[in-house]
């Protein structure tokens, strides 16, 4: 895509939770996104970019504004402003395919809803009397990663739309007499600085995973970070080369996990464990249960196992539950949900 | 004149989780089903915590809606049977077009919908191509004979609420704007979902819903497991899942269809009707909507059960859903329940035998208990607690209040000053009413009517060789100037603890609040009032513009108990947040009236520390302007705790001694202006 070299994901020091959370959502986008809460300068966007960099290339119809895969072409294309591709389709020719990297689309804080969901190409409508849909960022992010910085400062409606699309894999626009639906399957990554206000609970709940991160506290780690960063800045290509093997290994693991996920089984008693866990820590609704189940399976798949274990559940609870635990107004989000549980002994 | 189609409304298929596969939530499902059987029940409001399948259920309902016949080509879903309700298009047709059948729709109204989108507007491309003004029907037209679904209905903009209420009440949508004028019938079932955590619903809108159900998450572990398994399977292989549940879904649809067919023949005995009205009276329900909703719902319930006679069982099954949101709150203690009036419909008693018993005229005390349904006792307690459940520790009489009369002089002056000061702001978002247009080089929010008018004079010369009937150049572009009414929002957080009761301090505070109420009423500002005392904070007055309720509540406000200052701050901020969420441009004003002696914490920390910490947190929200009025008595020892609170809040600080009611108003008015 671009020549700019990205800092390798595997070379990020610490922030294990964030890295694992990102990997889980990449492997399984139906976890409906991850929210990263933390201060500035904690490698959030570096991680997202670095992860996208190592993912395998994807086949895309050339110049397609909806980033469609060749097999996805169909109804969506009927009102696509991209004419050449439409003509090819009409002639029954195969579309032109290119391979490209998974894209990271950034949503600016000031983004209006129009920009996000897309809108009617008004100029075209006025000139030609034809409705054309002008795709927004959700179309651009299809099959990629949508990175929303400062999600808590975004307009509530926009966040609502984002989460809806992330959960359903489809974006439906009904505005100004346009009604349009196109696929929008993306991994949603939101970041926020809790000091600038929380998301409202309804929206918070709809992020599948949530991790809270902070800057490294130990001097050693900080030194390590500096050293690596300096090494990278001095010789980006060389630095990336040095980490190439690790990157490749991770990429392989992810690809394998994606393939394995549908085959991961979970024992029935573990489902009881999940339900009991959610009841114990006091979670509203059922989204927690469902996400926890999926996350546990995803984690097992990432570790190359076909069976989810109690340890998987214990681990993903740290990603799935903190932001769902019922809180007093203005109470901070709990970091460690594990110790909120009653002793496991009195559970069935 | 009118002619439009929805070319692309139904396209991309999104897998919808099937209704029959939803685990638990029986009441919610029942309420939805009843509405699908009889649309006249008047809709459902589903209230509940997040993640309890509220939206899932409503979306799934679409697959179970009855089929209705429409003219093909009619975009207003006119009923071929009902010629007096036809849209102008159908009325002016020469020949009767083909009739096709389709499912009634579930139309989602997004929170950010624009007025054109809801009511209908001009269809751009068709108008330009044909040169005639062609109407693009709005969501109200789409929802005709179907369901209008509003997710998070409590956050819906007031402006849109008014539009919907208006259309729902008249059954007709009248559009007179942007140079178009048309009307069409719209009858829809309103379904709303909301999470009460995020604020209450306006009473008028609340009453509009025929039924209301509360949903909570399942507490039973195995039910939760079942639920997880199903959802996981659906997410993994939705096609497979849908195939597996197709049987159950078809069965459900069949049962629904039978119930619908049965409904017209369902009878209700007159004594059951009296029973219903008794129920309504016993629950102090305002208006008659509850009675009607119960009657309809009971009939539908009987039909769902496959019976053609609705009896008390049906009534009891649905009554709670119709009553729970209509019970009057914040009203004077209810009059003692009177025995129901003598009835003389005993003639048919032989026929019905035992089921006749409940509505017998001498309603015994046990009968009264039966009438008061389970789960209906909460909610009203907020208002009753001051009188009823006062514990003996401290009981101040209701502090002396300024009567409206005594406040008349300052109020009168304020009225003159305040009249016509309803602030309007331009909005850059596509919200609010379209008031006029202006020249624009961008077409983000195009005012098509004005654009067309601007282009009209040049059409003769431009039209040569053009594909479109109207040729529009960039210089014709006009964009909409929208206006949104932004009354201010003032929140009073009043310390009602015992320490406030001395030396008429409370009276002064109340007087100040009262005067402001009157002033706010003039300017259509909205106000809310939260108080804190004993162990908790309550919202004494939810955001309102009703001066009467506010005045009465204020004068009845009880005083006494300890001071949970942090709870008061938290509660107040909750109210503010909801308001700011609805209107991101709002810059509310919060007036904290207290002596600052916090002595009841919410958590484990010391109460004062907690209050200061919280205040600091709240102070970071720059949108809220804080004013702290200190009511500490002038004495030798002053703690000036309120001053510290004001400092961390980043707000202004006033002592009540320096501040008579009139002065306080002046301060506030300065802020609002």
Instruction: Decide if pLDDT at B22 tops 50.
Output: yes
Nearest to B49 among A127, A128, A284 (CB): A284
Count the helix, strand and coil residues of chain A and give each as a percent rounded to the nearest 5.
50, 15, 35
Q: What is the pLDDT at residue B7?
A: 29
Mean pLDDT of B290-296: 89
Give pLDDT, residue B624. 84
d(CA B115, CA B432): 7
Binned at pLDDT 50, 70 and 90, residue B662 comes out as: low
From B415-429, B496-510, B559-573, the region with the lowest mean pLDDT: B415-429
pLDDT of B31 strictly over 90:
yes
Closest Cα in chain A, distance from residue B222 (Å): 7
Q: Is the pLDDT of residue B453 over 60?
A: yes
DSSP, residue by residue, B462-502? H-TT-SSSS---GGG-EEEEEEEE---EEEEEEE-SGGGSG
Containing A34, the helix (H) or strand (E) segment is: strand A34-38
Residue A113 contacts B, CB cutoff 8 Å: yes
Confidence (pLDDT) at B91: 76
Give the closest residue to A296 by CA, choosing from A325, A324, A275: A275
Pairing between β-strand A178-183 and β-strand A133-135 as defined by DSSP bridges: unpaired
How far apart CA A102 and CA A67 sit, in angstroms, is 10
SS (H, E, C) A171-182: EEEEECCEEEEE
Given B112, B217, B235, which is nearest A284 (Cβ)? Answer: B217
Residue B389: per-residue pLDDT:
37
Distance of CA B14 to the CA centre of its chain: 28
pLDDT at B597: 81
Say which residue, A300 or B541, is predicted with more confidence.
A300
Q: Report, as residue numbers or ranges, the catalytic residues of B.
A: 289
**B486, pLDDT greater than 60:** no
Q: Is A272 on the interface with B (CB under 8 A)?
A: yes
**Smallest Cα distance from B478 to chain A, Å:** 12
Give me the half-sphere count of Cα atoms (radius 13 Å) on the Cβ side of residue B187: 11
Residue B520 pLDDT greater than 70, yes or no: no
Interface test with A, best of B228, B427, B480 (most A CBs within 10 A): B228
Partners of residue B148 on adjacent β-strands: B107, B190
Exposed/middle/buried for residue A175 (C-beta within 10 Å: 0-12, 13-18, 19+): buried
Among the partner residues A126, A278, A286, nearest to B472 by beta-carbon distance: A126
Q: Is B50 within 8 Å of A201 when comparing Cβ atoms?
A: yes
Task: Determine the residue among A290, A295, A328 to mutate to test chain B binding: the one whose Cβ has the most chain B Cβ atoms within 10 Å.
Answer: A290
Using the Cβ of B69 and the Cβ atoms of chain A, whether some distance falls under 8 Å is answered with no
- Is the CB of A254 inside 8 Å of chain B's CB atoms? no
- Window 588-627 of B: residues touching A by CB (8 A cutoff) are 602-603, 614, 617, 620-621
The DSSP annotation for B45-63 comes to EEEE-SSSSHHHHHHHHGG
Query: Mutation test of the interface with chain A: which of B25, B107, B124, choosing the one with the most A Cβ atoms within 10 A?
Result: B124
- Rounded to two decimals, the pTM is 0.70
Rounded Cα distance between A190 and B651, Å, is: 32
| Portion 298-337 of A in contact with B at CB < 8 A | 328-331
CB pair distance less than 8 Å for B123 and A279: no
CB B157 within 8 A of CB B431: yes
pLDDT in tens, chain A (348 residues): 445 788 999 998 888 899 999 999 989 888 888 999 888 778 888 888 888 888 888 888 877 878 887 777 766 676 676 667 777 777 777 778 888 888 888 888 777 777 888 877 766 766 666 667 778 888 888 888 899 888 887 777 788 788 878 777 788 776 655 667 788 888 889 988 877 767 777 788 888 899 988 887 888 988 998 999 999 999 999 999 999 999 999 999 999 999 999 899 888 889 999 998 888 888 888 888 999 999 999 999 999 999 999 999 999 999 998 888 876 544 566 666 766 665 444 443
Do residues B541 and B575 make contact, with C-beta atoms less than 8 angstroms apart? Answer: no
How close A290 gets to chain B, by Cα (Å)?
Answer: 5
Q: List the one residue out of B63, B88, B64 whose CA is nearest residue B78.
A: B88
- Rounded to the nearest 10 degrees, the angle between the axes of helix A16-27 and helix A44-54 is 40
Instruction: Note which residues in 53-112 of chain A have CB less than 8 A from chain B.
Output: 75-76, 78-79, 112
The reply to whether A347 touches chain B by the CB within 8 Å rule is no
d(CA B543, CA B526) in angstroms, rounded, equals 6
For an interface test with B, the pick among A269, A286, A289 (most B C-beta atoms closer than 10 Å) comes out as A286
207-226 of B, contacting A, C-beta below 8 A: 217-219, 221-222, 224-225
Sole residue written with tokens 């002038």: B634
The overall average pLDDT reported for chain B is 73
Q: Which residues of A touch B153 (CB under 8 A)?
A: none
User: Percentage of chain B surpassing pLDDT 70?
Assistant: 71
Residues of A forming the active site: 287
Hey, is the C-beta of A279 within 8 angstroms of any chain B C-beta?
A: yes
Test the B interface: residue of A201, A261, A285, A346 with most B CBs within 10 Å = A285
Q: How many Å lie between the alpha carbon of B472 and the closest alpha carbon of chain A?
A: 6
CB B300 within 8 A of CB B268: no
> Backbone phi, then psi, for A83, in 5-degree steps?
-75, -40
How confident is the model at residue A312, as a pLDDT? 92
Tell me the DSSP string of B77-144: ---TT-GGG--HHHHT-SSPPPEEEEEPPEEEE-TT--HHHHHEEE-HHHHHHHSS--EEE-HHHHTT
Which residues, in sequence order, are CB contacts of B86 under 8 Å at separation 6+?
Answer: B78
Q: B434: helix, coil or strand? A: strand
CB pair distance less than 8 Å for A202 and B197 = yes
**Gap between the Cα atoms of B110 and B72, Å rounded:** 27
Asked if residues B157 and B25 have their Cβ atoms less than 8 Å apart, the reply is: no
Searching chain B, which residue's CA lies closest to the CA of residue A157?
Answer: B112
Residue A31 contacts B, CB cutoff 8 Å: no
Is A38 at the interface with chain B, CB within 8 A?
no
Q: Which of A122, A200, A290 sits opposite B232 (nearest CB)?
A: A290
Q: Centre a 10 Å sphere on the Cβ of residue A237 and count the other Cβ atoms it contains.
A: 9
Does the beta-carbon distance from A287 to B123 stay under 8 Å?
no
Identify which of B12, B217, B577 has the shortest CB distance to residue A286.
B217
**What are the CA-CA distances from residue B264 to residues B44, B143, B310, B400, B427 (Å)?**
21, 23, 12, 59, 50
In chain A, residues with a C-beta closer than 8 Å to the C-beta of B614 are 330
The pLDDT tens digits for B459-469 are 777 777 676 77
Size of interface A-B (CB pairs under 8 A): 169
User: Largest Cα–Cα distance in chain B?
Assistant: 93
- The answer to whether the CB of B571 falls within 8 A of the CB of B530 is yes
Chain B residues in contact with A274 by the CB 8 A cut-off are: 224-225, 228
Q: What is the pLDDT of residues B327-353, one digit of tens each?
A: 764 333 333 334 444 444 444 443 433
């Amino acid at each position: 895509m671009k020549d700019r070299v990205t800092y390798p994901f595997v070379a990020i020091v610490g922030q294990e939770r964030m890295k694992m959370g990102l990997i889980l959502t990449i492997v399984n986008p139906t976890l409906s996104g991850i929210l990263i809460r933390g201060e500035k300068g904690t490698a959030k966007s570096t991680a997202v970019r670095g992860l996208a960099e190592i993912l395998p290339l994807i086949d895309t119809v050339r110049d397609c504004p909806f980033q469609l895969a060749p097999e996805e072409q169909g109804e969506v294309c009927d009102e696509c402003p991209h004419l050449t591709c439409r003509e090819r389709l009409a002639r029954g020719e195969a579309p032109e395919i290119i391979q490209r990297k998974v894209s990271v689309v950034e949503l600016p804080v000031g983004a209006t809803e129009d920009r996000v969901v897309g809108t009617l190409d008004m100029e075209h409508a006025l000139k030609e009397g034809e409705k054309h849909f002008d795709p927004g960022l959700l179309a651009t992010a299809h099959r990629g990663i949508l990175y929303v910085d400062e999600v808590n400062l975004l307009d509530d409606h926009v966040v609502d739309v984002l989460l809806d699309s992330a959960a359903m894999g489809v974006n439906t626009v009904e505005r100004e007499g346009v009604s349009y639906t196109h696929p929008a399957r993306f991994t949603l990554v939101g970041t926020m600085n809790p000091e600038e206000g929380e998301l409202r609970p309804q929206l918070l709940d709809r992020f599948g995973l949530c991790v809270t991160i902070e800057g490294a506290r130990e001097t050693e780690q900080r030194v390590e970070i500096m050293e690596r960063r300096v090494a990278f800045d001095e010789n980006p290509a060389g630095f990336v080369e040095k980490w190439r093997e690790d990157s490749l290994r991770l990429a392989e693991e992810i690809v394998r996990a994606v393939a394995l996920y549908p085959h991961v089984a979970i024992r029935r008693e573990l489902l009881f464990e999940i339900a009991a866990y959610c009841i114990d820590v006091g979670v509203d609704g059922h989204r927690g249960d469902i996400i926890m189940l999926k996350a546990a399976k995803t984690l097992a798949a990432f570790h190359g196992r076909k069976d989810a274990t109690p340890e998987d559940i214990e681990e993903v609870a740290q990603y799935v539950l903190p932001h769902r635990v019922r809180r007093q107004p203005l109470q901070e989000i709990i970091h460690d949900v594990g110790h909120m549980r009653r002793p496991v002994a009195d559970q069935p | 004149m009118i002619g439009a189609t929805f070319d692309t409304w139904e396209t991309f298929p999104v897998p919808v989780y099937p209704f029959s596969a939803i685990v638990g939530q029986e009441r919610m499902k029942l309420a939805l089903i009843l509405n699908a059987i009889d649309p006249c029940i008047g809709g459902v409001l589903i209230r509940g915590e997040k993640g309890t399948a509220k939206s899932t259920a409503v979306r799934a309902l679409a697959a179970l809606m009855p089929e209705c016949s429409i003219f093909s080509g009619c975009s207003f879903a006119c009923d071929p049977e009902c010629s007096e309700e036809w849209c102008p298009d159908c009325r002016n047709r020469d020949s009767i077009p083909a009739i096709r059948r389709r499912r009634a729709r579930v139309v989602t109204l997004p929170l950010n919908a624009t007025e054109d989108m809801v009511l209908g507007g001009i269809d751009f491309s068709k108008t330009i191509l044909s040169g005639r003004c062609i109407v693009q029907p709005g969501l109200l037209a789409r929802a005709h004979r179907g369901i209008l679904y509003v997710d998070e209905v409590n956050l819906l903009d007031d402006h849109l609420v008014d539009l919907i209420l208006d259309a729902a009440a008249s059954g007709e949508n009248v559009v007179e704007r942007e140079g178009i004028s048309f009307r069409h019938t719209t009858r829809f079932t309103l379904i709303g979902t909301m999470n009460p955590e995020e604020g209450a619903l306006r009473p008028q809108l609340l009453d509009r819903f025929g039924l209301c159900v509360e949903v909570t998450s399942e507490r039973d572990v195995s039910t939760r497991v079942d639920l997880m398994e199903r959802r996981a399977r659906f997410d993994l292989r939705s096609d497979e899942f849908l195939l597996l549940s197709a049987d159950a879904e078809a069965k459900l649809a069949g049962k629904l269809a039978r119930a619908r067919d049965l409904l017209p023949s369902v009878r209700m005995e007159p004594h059951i009707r009296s029973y219903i009205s008794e129920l309504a009276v016993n629950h102090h329900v305002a208006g008659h909507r509850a009675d009607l909703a119960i009657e309809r719902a009971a009939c539908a319930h009987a039909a769902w059960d496959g019976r053609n006679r609705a009896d008390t069982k049906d009534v009891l099954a649905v009554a709670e859903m119709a009553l729970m949101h209509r019970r009057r709150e914040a009203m004077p203690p209810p009059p003692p329940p009177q025995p129901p009036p003598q009835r003389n419909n005993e003639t048919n008693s032989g026929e019905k035998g035992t089921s006749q018993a409940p509505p017998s005229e001498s309603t015994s005390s046990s009968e009264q208990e039966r009438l008061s349904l389970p789960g209906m006792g909460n909610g009203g307690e907020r208002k009753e607690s001051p009188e009823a459940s006062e514990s003996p520790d401290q009981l101040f009489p209701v502090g002396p209040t300024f009567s409206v009369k005594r406040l008349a002089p300052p109020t009168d002056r304020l009225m003159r000053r305040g009249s016509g000061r309803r602030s309007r702001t331009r909005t850059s978002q596509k919200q609010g009413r379209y008031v006029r247009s202006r020249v624009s080089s961008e077409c983000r929010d195009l005012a098509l009517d004005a654009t067309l008018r601007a282009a009209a004079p040049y059409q003769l010369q431009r039209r040569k060789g053009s594909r479109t009937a109207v040729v529009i150049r960039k210089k014709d572009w006009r964009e909409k100037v929208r206006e949104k009414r932004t009354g201010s929002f003032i929140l009073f957080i009043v310390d009602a603890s015992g320490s406030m009761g001395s030396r008429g301090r409370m009276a002064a505070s109340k007087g100040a609040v009262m005067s402001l109420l009157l002033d706010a009423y003039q300017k259509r500002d909205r106000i809310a009032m939260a108080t804190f005392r004993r162990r908790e904070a309550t919202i004494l007055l939810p955001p309102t513009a009703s001066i009467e309720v506010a005045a009465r509540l204020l004068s009845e406000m009880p005083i006494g108990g300890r001071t949970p200052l942090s709870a008061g701050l938290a509660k107040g901020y909750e109210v503010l947040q909801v308001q700011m969420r609805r209107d991101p441009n709002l810059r509310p004003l919060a007036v904290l009236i207290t002596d600052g002696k916090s002595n009841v914490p919410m958590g484990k920390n010391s109460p004062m520390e907690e209050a200061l910490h919280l205040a600091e947190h709240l102070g970071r929200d720059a949108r809220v302007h804080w004013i702290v009025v200190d009511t500490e008595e002038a004495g030798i020892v002053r703690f000036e705790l309120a001053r510290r609170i004001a400092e961390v809040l980043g707000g202004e600080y006033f002592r009540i001694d320096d501040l008579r009611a009139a002065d306080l108003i002046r301060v506030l008015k300065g802020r609002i202006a």
